[in-house]
Structure 1
């Protein structure tokens, strides 16, 4: 919308009088000061250069908000506007034709550049006009240097960690609200966000009788299909003055055309728009100038004292700087994966013209987040494989032959496949770095033992580290039963190991007498020195921190590393966290494993659970009763376990022996509780999640889990795996006190599936990747836009692209921009941490 040349004198006079009268938003004959300025800047002067129109439009929005500003902000806006008008007047009038010629030359040079590249990064922006490279702000320019932001606003933006133009460009919205869809009043549906264009039939502004600090603006709108009453609320005594209310009513006179947007919601008077935005139009088909109405509006992460309008206006000021952005991805790669150019993506993630542009922009930027992560992981994997200092271990020998003879069962095809992959790795001088995933009971321990024996028969030592004493002791018992038959010593080192025994273990390790050490964190906390460490096995590896895993590896000279987990990791999570590892899956259970009947029960059905327990114990079976951590407090957890044990022993099952196991018991007490349960001296074991891994009692056939909704699905699946280890039919009972439909829906997944990989995928969808791993040390990258749940397809494509790039040039020397971007992004994304 354009108008004749502005009356510069009248404008400057209005600003001067407002300053003289104390910035009170003076009321003139027809308009208030703020209304007059809003209307003036709402129309572009005919001679206004295109490069100035953005600022002109911003001033209209700023003066529309003038009544809401504090005194200091009003002073700043008036002073800034006076300086700006003087500068623009010099361009329009003082420079005359010369100014126009220069502008034409700038626009022409831009268009030439646009045509040469085939794309103008600003051409599709609904906000930002064309701008030349010379006039655009620099990417590293301080925000305080931008005239649209200044020192005061930049100080507020700094509270969001935004200091430079580049920071703003990469400060992506956390969400978008789509007001772009324009509908008639009759078509309104509660829950939708829309824009309507209608005629004002009545406008009223008043202070509520019950609260003199609350003012309401009511506007009755009508179009050809119906009418709608909308309201806006203003809190504060300054809005209760009649002068202010009358000025607001004059903004929306009867018969005027307005555009309004907001969320459609039900009220006691029918449908309305919640907290609507309004803009008066010249006519029904007029262009909507608002940054919100009729657009897809970006929603940014904010903090106290930093408003949404400030961030949006700042981003608009920064967007012209995209002309300086160079796309690190080659055009061939972008074409192959159908990716939007970086400049266009940055624009469209902030202010997209439509939903398709927004999705394409998001896809490109998500691809970037995944691509540089995968590139870094693959590059690290490549460097590790170039290391030629690890032990070369023999895949055949007497120990392996003897072990196959004493093994009382036949290996599954999946176990044999994974063993072959491991033995193949161990023959290479480059250190193995392999993750073995296997469902509960799939036989990972046997696979690890074969890898350990390959190291031992080649003259090297091995270490096996587990996260808990219970699991370490379980491994130790299993290994002793096999290693005694092979005449091989094995020792256990935990926090409970006596000092004399520790010294003996340390000495035997240094002389090489002790070929295998099993333990907990004590393996890295003690002064443990191996004579010749060739293999490290880490069980339930996700429970260890990054540094803990690395410290065990440092006990030897580039030892081979085998990590194992019985918590199946979703594919996207495995690629993200373990993208530099080779991954093997044992996706087949040994024959004879029973399907566990799983049932979700509510508290009122508790008697059914107790009846089943009695029936099973009467047949000589045993039962686990597991309680959750309560608000992650060990003391509360302890109290609940003790109380439940007392109640079951004294009131519910006095005829049976009920044992107790929890994390705060001493190692000796835990051993005693587990031994009694293993020997069937106690028929019921009340426990916390200590039994999640490591307790193996084939005679146990019932797993009762209290408050099951407090657990993740993967953890419930792990607990369920404690039963079903013998020939008898087994049961898992999930008792839930939650009435939430979401909680019930989650638990039903366990009823429907025994597949740990499917369950882990569902768990990630319900709870997110961080909670699935169950540890803050899991090393999940901090993505800005990407979602491991929603963006699996893009992650797979990014992995493929990264593999192709590394295959062509692992050093990235031919793609300098990509190499620099990788260095910046990877360090920032991963915090410089060694993940695995």
Structure 2
């Protein structure tokens, strides 16, 4: 950090890395995270006004106290400082622009684009391949190599240009031998002092080439391996020795490794040079090397050589993004980005090229989502529902508690939507126990008091039954009928419900997938509420909406979705968050235990039952699997009942039981006839027993963090202190670190962010129908800043011209990406 300008990059990176590691006050090479931040904020830049300097001094003090804060307090501090820095950086950059006379508003980040751009081979336009030319027609590739490349789905020059590397290895840094450090990838240029060739004594089909290399600073021994009987012949060995004679100059690149003899390069790439300053012709040595996804029969150099053949065609690419937009967001031109993503000059050029191409992936998705949202808002045929009325007033009167400010804010969002003829399409996110059902009930009552019907669909019978019980207790006081329709509903009752829906006598129907059956017909459906919406497929959600004429749609989830994931999967929805728990909720004491600590867990369970409390024991499987060494629910139930807790009643609940059996198990537990309920994840949502105070989760490492947080939410619903015990026998440090997040935090939004970092977005939502776009380069974990910029840019583009008629190249690119490449499957 200089004394004139803040070092934004180091500050943002330090805060980001600390957040990624769970706010543990990381130890760096020189300082702890807290020490670095305290020192940094203590030396405020002179460009800052006095008020900001005082703010920096305050933050220096806060970070000096960082090691003594609780995890939640650390998290809040880091989040606040990150927001503050982004805002301050934006203001400083806008100020600098005004001083330079640049009239450009809303600039967030300007990337430095190098003057030196890519290695596009110098060839005449006459010889350059055409962008849509078939690879088999290029003489440098030919039919045989083209057939191999076709196995990767590469048929044209365009396919090759947009076949991005999955990774890069940086051999561009050339160092002296004395400067080698284990773990780095480097290139050295040195003289051959000795050359040996011999067959491995342990493997007669393995030839080892051993070179002793020396430069002006030191010497190093390197070895290269050749597997195959043809390499062990005397003729091949002699040819290798002639290739690397003593006194020749060799360029070598590879990963520096330490062995018992010192440092070496791991199986390095080698090239003989005419002299020390000679240019290196290799596609790997001395370069940032692209690593491509391959398949059987296709080797790396085949793809690299083909890409080099295709690169001159990049000059023919017309950039679909207007120049003004590129300059505003600091984006490299497309042809330069394509060249630099394959063969960059250096790591900076690679970073800036990748940023442009990641922006494109996010930008076209966001444009598509916003177009979809715009189209939905053009529909003006939905029911206009009254936000004021006797039913809602009476409901407020019978509620035994006050709504939180977060609930009230979300209710206002919903009621504002319901007053419009444009159909509402809102997602409500709320942590476990935040009170989403109450919010949904007010929306339902707005529909009913306006003369319309409502439907509430849940993914499981357990959850649908839970909603029904809660709604009946309220609706009886309001003198309103409500019915439950599931797969278990008897035929006679089913017919009665169908009839009452068609006549309009039944204002609210709660149910599972049974609601979307053909025989279910509403007289006047005005509102659809879908709980745990990510558990339904697109068609299932759409079929329920089709039961009415453009009904308003309210979707809910108790699995908080990270911001980046919400933007990519639900970017066409309006999102509200209930980010506040009702007052009086106690923190659930969460502890990670090993198998040796099981007796302590059982002691705690006995003490809680002795005080009249109840226990959940959750397992990942129903019956024992031969492939996985995991306890089964059935086996655990029998063991606990017969051996561990014979004095108590133990119940069993899992997904393979009939509906009647499930109801019986839940009702017995709810009525405290059973003190311990052994269950699979069927209790994840919907089972509400305030008397339960202990949740023991076996094989906790088999669950995602968000799912564990959901399970934990089954306890802590009453006034008594509750406990969550995570039983895990794994010694895997990554799994241990992941589970410790649950020990440290009760914040579902933070936990979902960490879950996405550990497991990836598809796993967080559930891969079966998650709808996470398949990005080639972009990462929802690493590229949040670029996603937010792409969303901002897409909003401005849609605001100016939602049809994209002003930008025909952009419109064509959007069509190409999300109709041809993704078959039109933009979202689920």
* TM-score, structure 2 normalization: 0.84
Could you say if the C-alpha distance between residues 636 and 509 of structure 1 is closer, same or farther in structure 2, counting changes exceeding 3 Å? farther
Aligned to 1:125: 118
CA distance in 2, matches of 1:635, 1:401: 57
1:707 Cα offset (Å): 1.0
Aligned to 2:480: 488
Could you say if the C-alpha distance between residues 414 and 208 of structure 1 is closer, same or farther in structure 2, counting changes exceeding 3 Å? closer
Q: What SS is found at the alignment partner of 1:722?
A: coil
Measured against aligned partners, the alpha-carbon deviations of 1:485-539 in whole angstroms (never above 9, x if no partner) come to 1121111111111122222212221221211111111112352111111111000
Q: What SS is found at the alignment partner of 2:516?
A: helix
Could you say if the C-alpha distance between residues 320 and 720 of structure 1 is closer, same or farther in structure 2, counting changes exceeding 3 Å? same
Counterpart pick for 2:709 among 712, 717, 731: 717
CA distance in 2, matches of 1:365, 1:776: 27
Aligned to 1:497: 489
Contact (CA 8 Å) 1:122, 1:129: kept in 2 or not?
no
- Mapped pair 1:624 → 2:616: yes
Could you say if the C-alpha distance between residues 789 and 634 of structure 1 is closer, same or farther in structure 2, counting changes exceeding 3 Å? farther
- Mapped pair 1:151 → 2:148: no
- Mapped pair 1:819 → 2:818: no
Contact (CA 8 Å) 2:615, 2:677: kept in 1 or not?
yes
- Mapped pair 1:599 → 2:591: yes
Aligned to 2:438: 446
Contact (CA 8 Å) 1:214, 1:235: kept in 2 or not?
yes
- Mapped pair 1:647 → 2:666: no
Aligned to 1:707: 699
1:702 Cα offset (Å): 0.8
- Mapped pair 1:767 → 2:774: no
- Mapped pair 1:317 → 2:294: no
CA distance in 2, matches of 1:501, 1:129: 76
Contact (CA 8 Å) 2:694, 2:725: kept in 1 or not?
yes
Equivalent runs, 1:127-526 vs 2, <5 Å: 128-526=120-518
1:125 Cα offset (Å): 3.1
Which sits farther off after the overlay, 611-620 or 505-514? 505-514
1:123 Cα offset (Å): 7.1
CA distance in 1, matches of 2:425, 2:574: 6
| Larger CA Rg, structure 1 vs 2 | 1
1:829 Cα offset (Å): 6.2
Which sits farther off after the overlay, 142-151 or 266-275? 266-275
Equivalent runs, 1:768-783 vs 2, <5 Å: 768-783=760-775
Counterpart pick for 1:552 among 544, 556, 559: 544
CA distance in 2, matches of 1:216, 1:463: 73
Measured against aligned partners, the alpha-carbon deviations of 1:74-100 in whole angstroms (never above 9, x if no partner) come to xxxxxxxxxxxxxxxxxxxxxxxxxxx
Contact (CA 8 Å) 1:546, 1:834: kept in 2 or not?
no
1:751 Cα offset (Å): 1.1
Could you say if the C-alpha distance between residues 753 and 768 of structure 1 is closer, same or farther in structure 2, counting changes exceeding 3 Å? same
Measured against aligned partners, the alpha-carbon deviations of 1:5-26 in whole angstroms (never above 9, x if no partner) come to xxxxxxxxxxxxxxxxxxxxxx
Counterpart pick for 1:693 among 685, 691, 705: 685
Contact (CA 8 Å) 1:638, 1:664: kept in 2 or not?
no
Measured against aligned partners, the alpha-carbon deviations of 1:404-457 in whole angstroms (never above 9, x if no partner) come to 121111111111110110010011111100000000000000100111111111
1:629 Cα offset (Å): 3.4
Aligned to 2:780: 788
Which sits farther off after the overlay, 215-224 or 316-325? 215-224
Contact (CA 8 Å) 1:704, 1:734: kept in 2 or not?
yes
Measured against aligned partners, the alpha-carbon deviations of 1:119-170 in whole angstroms (never above 9, x if no partner) come to x9997334x4323434321111100011110100000000000001000000
Could you say if the C-alpha distance between residues 189 and 632 of structure 1 is closer, same or farther in structure 2, counting changes exceeding 3 Å? farther
Q: What SS is found at the alignment partner of 2:210?
A: strand
CA distance in 1, matches of 2:428, 2:365: 22
Measured against aligned partners, the alpha-carbon deviations of 1:293-335 in whole angstroms (never above 9, x if no partner) come to 0000000000011000000000001100011100011111111
Q: What SS is found at the alignment partner of 2:252?
A: strand
Q: What SS is found at the alignment partner of 2:556?
A: strand
Could you say if the C-alpha distance between residues 633 and 556 of structure 1 is closer, same or farther in structure 2, counting changes exceeding 3 Å? farther
Contact (CA 8 Å) 1:384, 1:431: kept in 2 or not?
yes
Measured against aligned partners, the alpha-carbon deviations of 1:696-750 in whole angstroms (never above 9, x if no partner) come to 0011111111111111111111111111111111111111111111111111111
Counterpart pick for 1:541 among 533, 537, 554: 533
CA distance in 2, matches of 1:638, 1:779: 30
Which sits farther off after the overlay, 151-160 or 516-525? 516-525
Could you say if the C-alpha distance between residues 134 and 559 of structure 1 is closer, same or farther in structure 2, counting changes exceeding 3 Å? farther
CA distance in 2, matches of 1:631, 1:575: 39
Aligned to 1:804: 796
Aligned to 1:107: none
Aligned to 1:52: none
1:374 Cα offset (Å): 0.4
1:647 Cα offset (Å): 0.9
Contact (CA 8 Å) 2:622, 2:633: kept in 1 or not?
no
Measured against aligned partners, the alpha-carbon deviations of 1:576-610 in whole angstroms (never above 9, x if no partner) come to 00000000000111112111111111111111111
1:399 Cα offset (Å): 1.4
Contact (CA 8 Å) 2:637, 2:650: kept in 1 or not?
yes
CA distance in 2, matches of 1:253, 1:365: 45
CA distance in 2, matches of 1:237, 1:284: 34
Counterpart pick for 2:737 among 739, 742, 745: 745
CA distance in 2, matches of 1:791, 1:321: 29
Counterpart pick for 1:579 among 571, 577, 596: 571
Contact (CA 8 Å) 1:121, 1:344: kept in 2 or not?
no
The CA RMSD measured in Å over matched residues stands at 1.9
1:222 Cα offset (Å): 0.9
CA distance in 2, matches of 1:233, 1:287: 25
Which sits farther off after the overlay, 676-685 or 129-138? 129-138
Contact (CA 8 Å) 1:542, 1:775: kept in 2 or not?
no
